[in-house]
């Protein structure tokens, strides 16, 4: 069985501050990377124990080169580096049997979730798929749906799980921490979090092997509505293919090809960084 893992950083147990997630911040970032590496390795080890034979990692955080490749468990392949056309979903295709979302976090628009954002927090203030508020997991589920691959494991805080469940009803959920605010949480001990992820990944693969994990259910045509911080940003967003202005600060991307919707969404992210003043 082939497993594709997209991992972010803010949902990892022990991480509560941007400094722990920001390349260049020195000691705090080094700690964040070590915590992340252990959780990713736990997911790999659990997947292998549950029957996975091939694992591909897609680094989905910031500059997307947050792991020490030498320390990756299970001889997993590692997609890393910036400016990937499919961003958090780079490398997924229909040949995979399962998707894991590791270290994911809640949306910018939802209840307090540690370091919550929906792609770019300086630009996007909310996102809806078919009218329902979503985070990164829900937007990324469009691509999972396109390729017909089930989301089998999700790890992060409990807000993440509430937001992801509609798209991954059969996924094994591992709660790594309870968010208190966007900048505080009650964290599991990292060793406990990793043990839970390892066990959850193994269970997830067994469930996939039994055919017990459905692919995301999203009705077609799908509409991805995006709320922007300013009207300027919404205007720039319309320069992406298929992005249509629906109000001063809202843009809709709609269609039956969910991969095209996601591609346009990635384009929106890249070009609106200019209007975001980055």
Name residues whose C-beta falls within 8 Å of residue 90's C-beta, 6 or more positions apart in sequence: 58, 79, 84
* Chain-centre distance for alpha carbon 31: 21
157 binds Zn ion (CB under 5 A): no
Per-residue contact string for residues 190-219; x = within reach of Zn ion by CB under 5 A: ------------------------------
Give the nearer residue to Zn ion in terms of CB position, either 8 or 38: 8
Q: Are 6 and 55 contacting, i.e. CB atoms less than 8 angstroms apart?
A: no
Tell me the closest approach of the beta carbon of residue 177 to Zn ion, in angstroms. 15
- Helix, coil or strand: residue 116: coil
1 DSSP assignment: -
Residue 21: CB minimum distance to Zn ion, A: 9
Nearer to Zn ion, 8 or 45 (CB): 8
Q: How far is the CB of 118 from Zn ion (least distance, A)?
A: 8
Give the residue with the Cβ less far from Zn ion, 50 or 103. Answer: 103
Residue nearest to Zn ion (CB): 8
Q: Give 168's Cβ-side CA count (13 Å radius).
A: 30
Is residue 8 close enough to count as binding Zn ion by CB under 5 A? yes
* Cα(235)–Cα(166) distance, integer angstroms: 31
Q: Which is nearer to Zn ion, 115 or 208 (CB)?
A: 115
Q: Do residues 4 and 91 make contact, with C-beta atoms less than 8 angstroms apart?
A: yes
β-strands 54-59, 77-79 pairing: parallel
Residue 211: CA count within 13 A, CB half-sphere = 0
Q: How far is the CB of 248 from Zn ion (least distance, A)?
A: 26
Does 39 bind Zn ion (CB under 5 A)? Our answer is no
In whole angstroms, how close is the CB of 129 to Zn ion at the nearest point?
16
Contact region for Zn ion (CB under 5 A) — 6-14, 51-59, 212-220, 268-276?
6-14
Q: C-beta of 85: minimal distance to Zn ion in Å?
A: 18
Whether 162 contacts 133, CB under 8 Å: no
Applying CB under 5 A, the span of 5-13, 51-59, 71-79, 248-256 interacting with Zn ion comes to: 5-13
Encoded tokens for 12: 């990892």
Q: How far is the CB of 258 from Zn ion (least distance, A)?
A: 20
Q: Give whichever of 8 and 97 is closer to Zn ion, judged by the CB atom.
A: 8
Other Cβ atoms closer than 10 A to 72: 17
Distance of CA 106 to the CA centre of its chain: 9
Q: Which is nearer to Zn ion, 128 or 207 (CB)?
A: 128
Number of residues that bind Zn ion (CB under 5 A): 1
Measured from the CB atom, the residue of 168 and 208 that comes closer to Zn ion is 168
Q: Are 134 and 107 in contact (CB under 8 A)?
A: yes
User: Which chain residues interact with Zn ion by CB under 5 A?
Assistant: 8
């Amino acid at each position: 069985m082939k497993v594709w893992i997209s991992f972010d950083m803010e949902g990892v147990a022990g991480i509560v501050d941007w400094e722990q997630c920001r390349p260049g911040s020195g000691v705090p970032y080094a700690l964040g990377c070590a915590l992340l590496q252990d959780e990713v390795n736990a997911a790999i080890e659990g997947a292998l124990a549950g029957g996975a034979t091939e694992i591909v990692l897609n680094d989905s955080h910031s500059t997307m080169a947050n792991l020490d490749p030498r320390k990756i468990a299970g001889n997993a392949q590692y997609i890393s580096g910036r400016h990937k056309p499919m961003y958090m979903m780079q490398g997924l295709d229909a040949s995979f049997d399962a998707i894991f979302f590791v270290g994911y976090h809640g949306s910018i628009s939802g209840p307090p979730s540690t370091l919550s954002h929906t792609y770019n927090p300086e630009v996007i203030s909310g996102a809806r798929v078919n009218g329902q508020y979503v985070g990164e997991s829900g937007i990324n589920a469009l691509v999972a749906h396109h390729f017909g691959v089930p989301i089998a494991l999700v790890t992060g805080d409990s807000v993440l799980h509430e937001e992801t469940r509609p798209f991954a009803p059969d996924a094994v959920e591992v709660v790594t921490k309870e968010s208190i605010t966007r900048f505080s949480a009650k964290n599991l001990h990292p060793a406990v979090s990793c043990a839970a992820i390892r066990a959850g990944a193994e269970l997830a693969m067994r469930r996939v092997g039994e055919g017990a994990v459905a692919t995301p259910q999203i009705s077609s045509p799908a509409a991805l509505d995006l709320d922007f911080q300013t009207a300027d940003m919404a205007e720039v967003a319309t320069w992406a293919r298929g992005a249509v202005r629906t109000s001063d600060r809202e843009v809709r991307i709609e269609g039956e090809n969910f991969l095209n919707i996601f591609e346009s969404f990635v384009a929106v992210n890249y070009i609106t960084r200019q209007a975001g003043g980055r």
